[in-house]
Structure 1
Amino acid sequence: MNPQATRITVTNESERKSVGDFGVCSQILIILTYILVILTFPITIFYCIKIVLEYERAVIFRLGRLVSGEAKGPGLFFILPCIDTYQKVDLRVISYNVPPQETVLDDATEKWGVTVERVEVKDVILPSQMQRSMAAEAAASREAKAKIVAAQGEQSASIALKEAASILSESPAALQLRYLQTLITIA
C-alpha cells in the first residue's frame, strides 16, 4: 500500500459497462471467499474491515477490476481478503514550491488528469531589454509631468505679472512707489 506508487486508470463509457462483470470462475471464487469469511468470522473481521480517514477515499478492486460504485469513505468499509485490493487516495490539496522556471499553464495539465486549483506567483524576472524599455518609459513620463508643472507655474506667474502691470499702469503714483522700493532693495 505505498501511497507514492499509486496508479489509477480511468475508463471510458464503453469500458465502464464491463466493470464489475465477472466470469463463472470468478463468481465461484467470490462465493467461496464469502463462505470462508463467514466460517472464520471472528478471525477474518480484522482483515475484512478497513478504515478510511476523512481526507481519504478508497478505490476497491476485485480480482484486478474496479468494483462498481463510487470510492468508499470516509469511515469503515468491507473487503474480501485475497480477492479485493484497495488503494487509498489522498484528497488533500498538495502545495509545492517550484524552483524558478517557465511554467505550464493549467489548461495544458487537464489532459494529464491534474487539477490546478491555485497558482501564486512570487517573483517575475523580466528580460534586461524589457527592464530598460520600462525604465525609459517611466523616465519620459516623469519628464513630461515636470514640464507640465513648470508650464503651469510660468502661466500663473505671467498672469500675476499682467495683473500687477495693469494695477501699476492705472496710477502713476503706484509706479513711483514701486520704483523707490526697488531702489531701496538694491542699495
Structure 2
Amino acid sequence: MTFALQDFVTTILFVIVIFIVLSVLVRATVKILREYERGVIFTLGRFQKVKGPGLIVLIPFVQEMVRVDLRIQVIEIPAQDVISRDNVSMKVDAVLYFNVVDPEHAIIKVQQYLPATVMLAQTTLRAVLGQHPLDEMLSERKKLSLDLQVILEGQTEVWGIKISNVEIRTVELTDNMIRAIAKQAEAERDRRAKIIHAEAEFQAAQTLVDAATIIASVPAAMQLRYLQTLTEIGAEQNSTVIFPMPLDVIKPLLALLETKTAPPPAITLPVGIHAIP
C-alpha cells in the first residue's frame, strides 16, 4: 500500500508539472491581439515583422513579441513655469493627443515612446511659449497650439508617432499681473470711449458747417427754419415766445444809433489866431 500511494503521489506531481509546462509553452506560443493592437516580432533578438491583429503563433524561447497600442492616447502635460518674451512669469499646462503609426520605429527607435513624448512636449511647450509675449499667449492660443503641434510632429516622426493635436488649456498668472491686465483693459476702454466721443463731436461739427453753408447759400432757408421753430413752439402751448431777429434787420438800427451817439467833431482854429483867455 505504501508503494502504491507513493506511485500515485508521484504521478499526480508529474501531471501537475506537465500541465504547468504546457501552460507556459501555450502562453509563450499563442498570442491574441485585439483590433487596435499590433505585435512587433523579434527572432533571437532581431526584428522580423509586425503582426496582428488576431491569432499569433510564436516559436517558444526563440521568438518574442512586444504589444503596441495604435489608439489615440491623451496625455495631460503638467503645469510648466514659463517666462514670456516680455518677462512675465506664469504657469501653462496643455493636453497632448497622439498615436503610434509605425510600431516598428516606436519600439526600436526609442526606448519608451510614451514618457519620451511627454518629456519632449514639456520642453517644447516652455521653449515655444517663451518666444512670445503675454498678449499673444492670451489672444492667439490657437496659433501657438498649431506651432507646438508642427514642432512636435517634426521630432516624433522618426519614432513612428503622429501628433494629432495639442491644446494649451490654462494660463495661470499672478494676482499682481491680473490686476495690471485689468487696469490696462480699463484704460483701453477709456481711450476708445474718448476717441468715439471726439469723432462724434467732429462729425456733428462737420454736419453743422455743411448745414450753415447750405443755409447761407439760400437765404430763404433761414426763414423756413424760423417758421418751423415757431410751429414747434406753438405746439407746446407756451406763454412766452422768443423770436430771433435776423442780423440784416438789426444792422441798420445799430448804424443809426452809432451815428446819434457819436461825439461832435473837434473845432480847429486857423493858424495865427489864438484864443484870448
TM-score, with normalisation over the residues of structure 2? 0.39
Quote the Cα distance in structure 2 between the aligned partners of 1:173 and 1:152. Answer: 26
Correspondence for 2:166:
119
Are 1:131 and 2:181 an aligned pair?
yes
User: In structure 1, which of residues 93, 105, 121 is the aligned counterpart of residue 72 of structure 2?
Assistant: 93
Correspondence for 2:36:
55
**Gap runs ≥5 in structure 1:** 1-40
SS of 2:41's equivalent?
strand
Offset, 1:122:
2.8
SS of 1:68's equivalent?
strand
For 1:87-118, what per-residue CA distance to the aligned partner results, in whole angstroms no more than 9, with x for missing partners? 10111111123333245145267268454321
Offset, 1:158:
3.2
* Identity among equivalent pairs (%): 26
Quote the Cα distance in structure 2 between the aligned partners of 1:172 and 1:73. Answer: 95
Q: Relative to 1, partners in 2 of residues 1:141 and 1:58: Cα closer, same or farther, differing over 3 Å?
A: same
Quote the Cα distance in structure 1 between the aligned partners of 2:230 and 2:203. Answer: 31
Quote the Cα distance in structure 2 between the aligned partners of 1:147 and 1:175. Answer: 28
1:1-187 alignment to 2 at 5 Å?
47-63=28-44, 65-69=45-49, 71-101=50-80, 102=82, 103=122, 104=124, 105-106=148-149, 107=151, 110=155, 113=159, 115-125=162-172, 128=177, 131=181, 135=185, 136-137=187-188, 139-164=190-215, 166-167=217-218, 169-170=219-220, 184=241
Cα RMSD for the two superposed structures: 4.1
**Gap runs ≥5 in structure 2:** 1-21, 83-121, 125-147, 234-239, 244-277
Q: Relative to 1, partners in 2 of residues 1:119 and 1:158: Cα closer, same or farther, differing over 3 Å?
A: same
SS of 2:55's equivalent?
strand
Quote the Cα distance in structure 1 between the aligned partners of 2:34 and 2:77. Answer: 29
For 1:14-54, what per-residue CA distance to the aligned partner results, in whole angstroms no more than 9, with x for missing partners? xxxxxxxxxxxxxxxxxxxxxxxxxxx9x966652311111
Relative contact order (alpha carbons < 8 A, sep ≥ 6): 1 or 2 greater?
1
Quote the Cα distance in structure 1 between the aligned partners of 2:189 and 2:42. Answer: 63
Correspondence for 1:38:
none
TM-score, with normalisation over the residues of structure 1? 0.54
Offset, 1:77:
1.7
When Rg is computed on C-alpha atoms for both structures, the one with the higher figure is: 2
Equivalent position amino acid for 2:181 in 1: Q
Correspondence for 1:37:
none
Q: Relative to 1, partners in 2 of residues 1:96 and 1:184: Cα closer, same or farther, differing over 3 Å?
A: same
Quote the Cα distance in structure 1 between the aligned partners of 2:204 and 2:52. Answer: 75
SS of 1:120's equivalent?
strand
Equivalent position amino acid for 2:31 in 1: K
Equivalent position amino acid for 1:170 in 2: A
For 1:96-147, what per-residue CA distance to the aligned partner results, in whole angstroms no more than 9, with x for missing partners? 2333324514526726845432112233456839837963455434432332
Quote the Cα distance in structure 1 between the aligned partners of 2:217 and 2:71. Answer: 81
Quote the Cα distance in structure 1 between the aligned partners of 2:63 and 2:72. Answer: 28
